[in-house]
Structure 1
Amino acid sequence: MSQLTDYDNAPKTDHAYDGIEEFDNPLPGWWKWLFVATIFFSPFYYLYYHSGASGRSVEDTYGIALAENTRLQFAEIGDLKPTEPTLVAYMHKPNWVRVGQSVFKANCISCHGREGEGQVGPNLTDEYFKNVKSIEDIAKVVNNGAGGGAMPKWSDRLHPNEVVLVSAYVASLRGQNIESSRGPEGGKIPPWPEPIEEDEETPEE
């Protein structure tokens, strides 16, 4: 009962809504001044991080961190060459396929779709290929482009290892047959070669 009396005697604001009253408990002064300080700080934050200066935006710093992490990962595998054994081997390594997938999603989805189902570019998940006769041709198309520039060359924008890993990822999409608005393009080719046995050394160059 005494607690209820204390609530009744507590200071309240001078407004009520449908009989509901509000206790007059103002925010602490330090909290208010902290809020005011963030308002004054925000223009300087905006000018530093969002003024267009290279290397300062959240996207730029993320890209720098991602590139550094990728370089550390590449130190584990050395310099890959887009040969048949290497491509076949890496398309069966889930951790590295995910790296190739991240390269694909960062650069290729506007033409080939988020899952490789095809948009402007052809469907990469069926059994039909326009510019590919062997698995090595995937890396050649990535490096040099195709279709008179419809598929741009990426050799000057991607690390050679990224070319190999994204090519391995694209090769891994074959046979998923994701529904697409684009019909079959090109012709059928032989299946990809089988990976080398585990006890044999996987060539990387």
Structure 2
Amino acid sequence: MKTMTSWKERLLPLGAAMLSTTLGRAQATDAAITAASAPASMETAYLLLAVAVLQVVIILSLSGILRTLGGTGTAWADYLKGRRAAVLPVLLGLGASSDLHAATGMATALISVQALMWWLIAINAILFAIIVGQLSVVRGMARTLSGNVDVDAPAAEEGPTFADTILQRLTRSVKVEQEKDVLMHHEYDGIRELDNVLPPWWLWLFYGTVIWSVVFLLNVHVFDIWPTQEEEYRQEMAQAKADVDAYLAQFAGMVDETNVTALTDDASIAGGRATYEAYCKACHGGAGEGGVGPNLTDDHWKHGGGIHNIFKTIKYGVPEKGMIAWKTQLKPVEMQAVASYILKLHGSNPPNAKAPEGELWKDATTTAPADSAAVVAADSIAVAALK
């Protein structure tokens, strides 16, 4: 005869399985928990440690009770008959708990407070499962000693499992032996149809879509709680732009003479002007008219014009002429702003301007449109000639 297994006996191997699963999850989340913004309080960790110690004391006490109830071993033999698979995880858990506490004590100094708190939670859960298993064993042994357990009692007939019950409620399927009760009163070429009901899961899904449509309609078009699709699109585009700007801001310090671009926004030009007046005004004049240094407003440049050459001159300086390399004092974005401000000074014709120095500079970007226009004009003339 098979012994009927209670729910408590099924809980014992489950508690042992929780040992590896819980520790695995705690270890997997250790790195993510360490990066959390709010640190865990030490008071909580101390409280969990005290609870763990208390549970260890309870486990040791229950172990003594089990040894007392076991006596010479006959009670253990009677109770463990047919239950070895259920009790073995509990006994293994006792040994694992002591090793786990020893390992935790050594690792406490190597992990963060928040990770330690989650480890203590996992340990407390494991210890609690061990206590529940021990209590179940104590109760079973007590019933065995009192003679209230019928080891040879016949096993009860198994009913439908939980999964079968849920599946039946979702589908309301008819058993094969009951299909005659739902046969429809017609036949087509020997084929008979069953009058099955609509599956409840399908009906619930349909009712849910109807309810959701009403909720969506009221929130979007009546109460204006949720944004419309157009508003949501604009919000997402604005958020995407903010994310892109934040991402590009990380590379603002990586500007050099090879990838620098001229800035045109008012904030950058104002910042470049402030830097110019602080560091460049003494040599080049307040309006770029020149002084000790050359005039910055005409078309002649001693070291090349354009944003790339101006940035390079500011960055590395001209030591033979007394201009220091500003790369040690200014950030790349500040040098970019100054170079952009200097480009704005071109053609301003300030009073007392210094005579031009250097070679006449023509930026390639300014001549490109003219060349393009000439090509377009030539192509237009050629097409007209063909006509």
Query: Structure 1-normalised TM-score?
Result: 0.51
**Residue 146 of structure 1 pairs with residue 312 of structure 2:** no
Please give the alpha-carbon distance, in whole angstroms, between the structure 1 residues aligned to 2:286 and 2:251. 27
Q: CA deviation at 1:182?
A: 2.0
- Unmatched runs of 5 consecutive residues or more in structure 2: 1-247, 367-387
Aligned to 1:79: 253
Aligned to 2:359: 187
**Residue 135 of structure 1 pairs with residue 310 of structure 2:** no
In structure 2, relative to structure 1, the CA distance for the partners of 1:170 and 1:80 (3 Å cut) is: farther
Which amino acid counterpart does residue 313 of structure 2 have in structure 1?
V
The runs of at least 4 consecutive aligned structure 1 residues that moved more than 6 Å come to none
Aligned to 1:164: 336
Q: Is the 8 A contact 2:272 2:339 kept in 1?
A: yes
**Aligned residues: percent identity?**
29
User: Is the partner of 2:268 in helix, strand or coil?
Assistant: helix
Q: CA deviation at 1:128?
A: 1.1
In structure 2, relative to structure 1, the CA distance for the partners of 1:160 and 1:152 (3 Å cut) is: same
Q: Is the 8 A contact 2:306 2:343 kept in 1?
A: no
Q: CA deviation at 1:124?
A: 0.5
Q: CA deviation at 1:165?
A: 0.8
Larger radius of gyration: 2
Please give the alpha-carbon distance, in whole angstroms, between the structure 2 residues aligned to 1:175 and 1:85. 25
Q: CA deviation at 1:181?
A: 4.8
- Unmatched runs of 5 consecutive residues or more in structure 1: 1-73, 195-205
CA deviations on 1:101-130 (whole Å, 9 max, x unpaired) are 111011111101111111111111111111
**Residue 155 of structure 1 pairs with residue 343 of structure 2:** no
Q: CA deviation at 1:87?
A: 2.5
Please give the alpha-carbon distance, in whole angstroms, between the structure 1 residues aligned to 2:251 and 2:345. 23
In structure 2, relative to structure 1, the CA distance for the partners of 1:86 and 1:181 (3 Å cut) is: closer
Which amino acid counterpart does residue 314 of structure 2 have in structure 1?
V
In structure 2, relative to structure 1, the CA distance for the partners of 1:156 and 1:149 (3 Å cut) is: farther
Query: Structure 2-normalised TM-score?
Result: 0.28
Aligned to 2:265: 93
Please give the alpha-carbon distance, in whole angstroms, between the structure 1 residues aligned to 2:317 and 2:276. 15
- Please give the root-mean-square deviation of Cα atoms over the aligned residues, in Å: 2.5
Q: Is the 8 A contact 2:284 2:294 kept in 1?
A: yes
> Which fold has the larger relative contact order, with Cα–Cα distance below 8 Å and residues 6 or more apart in sequence?
1
Please give the alpha-carbon distance, in whole angstroms, between the structure 1 residues aligned to 2:284 and 2:312. 17
Q: CA deviation at 1:180?
A: 2.7
Please give the alpha-carbon distance, in whole angstroms, between the structure 2 residues aligned to 1:114 and 1:133. 19
